[in-house]
Structure 1
Amino acid sequence: MNFTLSTSLPFDHIDRPEEFGTLDALQEIARTVEAAGFYAGTVTDHPAPSARWLDAGGHYAQDPFVLLSMLGASTTKLRLQTNILVLPYRNPFLTARAVSSLDHFTNGRVILGLGAGYMKAEYKALGVDFDARNDLMDEYINAMKLAWTGEDFTFEGTGYTALGNRMLPTPAQTPHPPLLVGGNSKRALRRAVELGDAWHPFFVPKSVTDTARTANLEGDDDILAAIGYMADHCGKVGRAEPPKVIASSTYAVKDGWSAQEALDHYANLKSLGVHGSGATIHAETRAQYCDIALKFGEEVIAKIDF
């Protein structure tokens, strides 16, 4: 299947810990998602969100590398994806170490979705300069790529210095796991071209982007314009092949969902030049979640032939 489908995993639902907040739940859901045929399972990243954001409809998030490690131990084929990791929150060499360890021990199943984030209060809580986040993104990607070579490296960063350091083992994937660069802004698009393997857009209406402080990306025209912008930038920087476009979840599997509607939705994305997308399954219980996942696998994933 050339068009890949990921799914957002439900472990952020702390209001139903008996259904989604145990090791048994994680293992069962992970194996079910894999059996359904999803290419990747995705987790989010909010280590210290503000109470105001949470109370206004935000969500909690478990540590992404802890969750993905347990997912990797519970499956054999499912890709392990961050969607997204807010890269400036952590020293880049700590992130590089976590990624290379996870990728090595899961035989190359990591997909690293990366973004600059948008939550000023969370940046403040973590002691990172919010206004420097875009510069830090570029810097940290370059630092991680250097660490992943397995060779001795030197690097002068913002508030840290590597003077002949080494990181082994390297990731199983060469030269590193796929880097899916998130963000809808022009700078994020340029970053995807210059430093990434794929662009990882966040398809949301303007009403959401106004509160999330990210660029609006809503309809087909917006997607085509962004792809065209990346193509133009490839010409400017000498990149032969443009980044793939692998979206985060774009389809909600809720009561009354239609397999044909989902297939038509993904076919339309494919026609625009999108290489992958995702689905979010909404369920009240673990059993319901697993039933829906398997049905989605049979009626949608198994029938995608593009």
Structure 2
Amino acid sequence: DAIRAIRAAWGQRVPVYHGTHYDFEGFIVEPSGLTREIEVWVGGRTRRSLRRALEVGHAWMPFGMELEQLGAILTSAKVRDDLSGYADRHGRPLKLILAPEPPIDPLAHPGETTEFLAAYVAIGATGFSVRFDHRSPAHFCEQMAALRSVVDAAGF
């Protein structure tokens, strides 16, 4: 209900919402901000968090899960049907922003990085939240550039 309340109020000068847990009207928000839909990424590591993303989100961003755990969830027939239904209702797929572990090293191991990320794409990843193996801020920036090259070459 909180996400629905935020969506109803976002960018509204005089917001109104009557939900199961939140109920408001009769006040002014100045400045009210931009009137546009906000994109909601739902985090979590359970099937319930995925259901919440399918109900009120634009993306699911699980954390602390191994590839096998994610694969078991995302390749199940029920979840595949739910994801297909979401795409039909919204005219776009639910984004699946996955966080591969352990940290990657595309600079030293571009081939391994490609294979590693391809395994996540195979189970449905549409985006990544990655951590790099790095020694300094400059090395971190080099890793980002190397990842860009890996992603472009692989066509992700």
Which category of TM-score, normalised to the shorter sequence, fits these structures?
Answer: 0.7 to 0.9
Cα offset for 1:217? 6.4
Change over 3 Å in CA distance of 1:219–1:144 after alignment to 2: closer
Q: Percent identity?
A: 24
Cα offset for 1:142? 0.9
Alignment of 1:64-83 (within 5 A): none
Match of 2:42, SS?
strand
Change over 3 Å in CA distance of 1:155–1:275 after alignment to 2: same
TM-score normalised by the chain length of structure 1: 0.41
Q: In 2, distance between residues paired with 1:288 and 1:144?
A: 39
Match of 2:25, SS?
strand
Match of 1:155 among 11, 17, 21: 17
| Aligned partners of 2:114 and 2:154 also within 8 Å | yes
* Structure 2 counterpart of 1:153, one-letter code: P
2:25 aligned with 1:145, yes or no? no
| Aligned partners of 1:252 and 1:280 also within 8 Å | yes
Q: In 1, distance between residues paired with 2:100 and 2:109?
A: 16
Q: In 2, distance between residues paired with 1:264 and 1:282?
A: 17
| Residue of structure 2 equivalent to 1:252 | 103
Alignment of 1:162-241 (within 5 A): 162-167=24-29, 168-170=32-34, 174-176=36-38, 178-205=39-66, 218=69, 220-225=71-76, 228-229=78-79, 231-232=81-82, 235=85, 239=89
Cα offset for 1:160? 7.0
TM-score normalised by the chain length of structure 2: 0.72
Higher RCO (CA 8 Å, separation ≥ 6 residues): 1
Structure 2: segments with no counterpart, 5+ residues: none
Structure 1: segments with no counterpart, 5+ residues: 1-138, 206-215
| Aligned partners of 2:42 and 2:52 also within 8 Å | yes
Aligned positions, number: 152
Match of 1:253, SS?
coil
Alignment of 1:109-120 (within 5 A): none
| Residue of structure 1 equivalent to 2:154 | 304
* Structure 1 counterpart of 2:5, one-letter code: A
2:91 aligned with 1:268, yes or no? no
